[in-house]
Copies of this chain bind each other. A is one copy, B any other.
Amino acid sequence: MPDQLGAKLRRLRQNKGVSLRTVESETGISNAYLSQLERGVATNPNPIKLRKLAEYFNAPYLDLLAHAGYLPSGARENYQGLIANSVGSSRKESQLSSSIVDLTNDEENLVLQYIEFLKSRRN
């Protein structure tokens, strides 16, 4: 069951202050179908339509996919796990991805500097 995709889409549209017909003219998706999506009557949109909406609302596409139930909930760990599995990263790189999730800003700065230092001494 999609996790409130409709509510999310209506919020995005209302925050932008536009009508169903405006979204229709900008995305090519009919106002009737947009209404059905927002009201939860239609729940299984083609991802291509979600992408158009994400672009129009300047909203994160993976977030809309997750709300539609096509991806796990939008926690970084979940996506990192999917990526690690998809593009064949090493186990250690998965660890790295997981480790950076909860760094503070200062820690992020330090790690970035350290990585740049490591790369700078490659030659």
Contact = CB atoms under 8 A, between A and B. Distances in A.
Nearest to A73: B87
B108 A83 contact: no
Copies of this protein in the assembly total 2
Count class of interface residues, chain A: 35 or more
A5 to B, nearest CB: 13
A119 B65 CA distance: 33
Contact of A108 (B62, B63, B65, B92): B92
Interface of A: 44, 46-48, 51, 60-63, 65-66, 69-70, 74-76, 79-80, 82-83, 85-87, 89-90, 92-93, 95-97, 99-100, 103, 105, 107-112, 114-116, 118-119
Given A76-B87, A95-B112, 6 more contacts: A47-B47, A51-B70, A60-B82, A92-B112, A99-B115, A107-B115
